[in-house]
Amino acid sequence: MDFEQEIARRRTFGIISHPDAGKTTLTEKLLLFGGAIQEAGAVKNNKIKKSATSDFMEIERQRGISVATSVLAFLYNDKKINILDTPGHKDFAEDTFRTLTAVDSVIVVIDVAKGVEEQTEKLVEVCRMRSIPMIVFINKLDREGKDAFDLLDEVEQKLGLSVTPLSFPIGMGYDFKGIYNIYEKNINLFSGNSKQNIEETIAFDDIESTELEGIIGENSAQELRDNLELATGVYPEFDKEAYLEGAQQPVFFGSALNNFGVRELLDCFVDIAPSPRPKKAEERLVASNEKDFSGFVFKIHANMDPKHRDRLAFIKIVSGTFERNKPYLHVRLDKKLKFSSPNAFFAEKKEIVDISYPGDIVGLHDTGNFKIGDTLTSGEKLSYTGIPSFSPEHFRYINNADPMKAKQLYKGIDQLMDEGVAQLFTLELNGRKIIGTVGALQYEVIQYRLEHEYGAKCSYENFPAHKACWVEPMEENEEFKEFKRVKQKFLAKDKRGQLVFLADSAFSLQMTQQKYPTVRLRFTSEPT
Q: State how far the Cα of 89 lies from the Cα of 297, in Å rounded to an integer.
A: 22
Chain positions 26 to 45 lying near ligand GDP, rule: CB under 6 A, are 45
Using CB under 6 A as the binding rule, whether residue 261 contacts ligand GDP is answered as no
Using CB under 6 A as the binding rule, whether residue 142 contacts ligand GDP is answered as yes
Using CB under 6 A as the binding rule, whether residue 348 contacts ligand GDP is answered as no
Reading across the β-sheet that carries 361-366, which strands appear in turn? 335-337, 328-330, 375-377, 294-302, 311-319, 361-366, 343-346, 349-352
Does the annotation flag 220 for ligand binding?
A: no
DSSP secondary structure code for residue 203 in this structure: E
Using CB under 6 A as the binding rule, whether residue 139 contacts ligand GDP is answered as yes
Using CB under 6 A as the binding rule, whether residue 47 contacts ligand GDP is answered as yes
Does the annotation flag 95 for ligand binding?
A: no
Q: State how far the Cα of 247 lies from the Cα of 131, in Å rounded to an integer.
A: 7
Helix residue ranges, H only, 131-197:
148-159
- Strands 10-17 and 105-111 come out as parallel
Comparing CB distances to ligand GDP, the nearer of 23 and 98 is 23
Does the annotation flag 89 for ligand binding?
A: yes
Tell me if residue 472 falls in helix, strand or coil. Answer: coil
**Piece of the chain touching ligand GDP by CB under 6 A; list 118-126, 233-241, 252-260, 517-525:** 252-260
Q: State how far the Cα of 291 lies from the Cα of 167, in Å rounded to an integer.
A: 40
Does the annotation flag 388 for ligand binding?
A: no
Comparing CB distances to ligand GDP, the nearer of 40 and 401 is 40
CB of 47 to ligand GDP, least distance (A): 5
Comparing CB distances to ligand GDP, the nearer of 142 and 264 is 142
Q: Which of 6, 10, 14, 22 binds ligand GDP (CB under 6 A)?
A: 22
Q: State how far the Cα of 444 lies from the Cα of 464, in Å rounded to an integer.
A: 19
Using CB under 6 A as the binding rule, whether residue 122 contacts ligand GDP is answered as no
Comparing CB distances to ligand GDP, the nearer of 188 and 375 is 188
Tell me if residue 241 falls in helix, strand or coil. Answer: helix
**Piece of the chain touching ligand GDP by CB under 6 A; list 116-124, 139-147, 172-180, 406-414:** 139-147
Does the annotation flag 19 for ligand binding?
A: yes
Does the annotation flag 23 for ligand binding?
A: yes
Q: Which of 11, 16, 25, 262 binds ligand GDP (CB under 6 A)?
A: 25
Using CB under 6 A as the binding rule, whether residue 146 contacts ligand GDP is answered as no
Using CB under 6 A as the binding rule, whether residue 257 contacts ligand GDP is answered as yes
Q: State how far the Cα of 134 lies from the Cα of 241, in Å rounded to an integer.
A: 12
Tell me if residue 117 falls in helix, strand or coil. Answer: coil
Q: State how far the Cα of 202 lies from the Cα of 188, in Å rounded to an integer.
A: 6
CB of 262 to ligand GDP, least distance (A): 9
What contacts 218, CB < 8 A, 6 or more positions away? none
Q: Which of 255, 385, 408, 525 binds ligand GDP (CB under 6 A)?
A: 255
Comparing CB distances to ligand GDP, the nearer of 21 and 108 is 21
Residue 398 φ/ψ, nearest 5 degrees: -110, 130
- What phi-psi label fits residue 35: left (phi over 0), alpha (psi between -120 and 50 degrees) or beta? left
Q: State how far the Cα of 261 lies from the Cα of 178, in Å rounded to an integer.
A: 9
CB of 111 to ligand GDP, least distance (A): 8
**Per-residue contact track with ligand GDP, 204 to 243, x per CB under 6 A?**
----------------------------------------
Measuring CA to CA, how many Å separate 492 from each of 2, 90, 498? 51, 25, 8
Using CB under 6 A as the binding rule, whether residue 88 contacts ligand GDP is answered as yes
Binding residues for ligand GDP, total number by CB under 6 A: 19
Residue 310: what residue type?
Answer: D
Comparing CB distances to ligand GDP, the nearer of 24 and 62 is 24
**Piece of the chain touching ligand GDP by CB under 6 A; list 94-102, 138-146, 327-335, 380-388:** 138-146
CB distance 374 to 331 below 8 Å:
yes
Measuring CA to CA, how many Å separate 305 from each of 171, 339, 453, 520? 51, 20, 9, 44
Q: State how far the Cα of 1 lies from the Cα of 6, in Å rounded to an integer.
A: 6
Element (H, E) at 466: none
Using CB under 6 A as the binding rule, whether residue 143 contacts ligand GDP is answered as yes
Q: State how far the Cα of 269 lies from the Cα of 29, in Å rounded to an integer.
A: 14
Comparing CB distances to ligand GDP, the nearer of 148 and 281 is 148
Q: Which of 9, 10, 11, 23 binds ligand GDP (CB under 6 A)?
A: 23
Does the annotation flag 301 for ligand binding?
A: no
Element (H, E) at 55: none
Q: Which of 6, 7, 24, 339 binds ligand GDP (CB under 6 A)?
A: 24
Q: CA nearest 472: which of 488, 457, 483?
A: 483
Comparing CB distances to ligand GDP, the nearer of 255 and 321 is 255
Element (H, E) at 443: helix 441-454
Using CB under 6 A as the binding rule, whether residue 134 contacts ligand GDP is answered as no
Q: State how far the Cα of 326 lies from the Cα of 376, in Å rounded to an integer.
A: 12
Does the annotation flag 420 for ligand binding?
A: no
Using CB under 6 A as the binding rule, whether residue 256 contacts ligand GDP is answered as yes
Using CB under 6 A as the binding rule, whether residue 19 contacts ligand GDP is answered as yes
Does the annotation flag 131 for ligand binding?
A: no
Binding residues for GTP: 17-24, 85-89, 139-142
Q: Would you tell me which residues interact with ligand GDP (CB under 6 A)? A: 17, 19-25, 45, 47, 88, 139-140, 142-143, 255-258
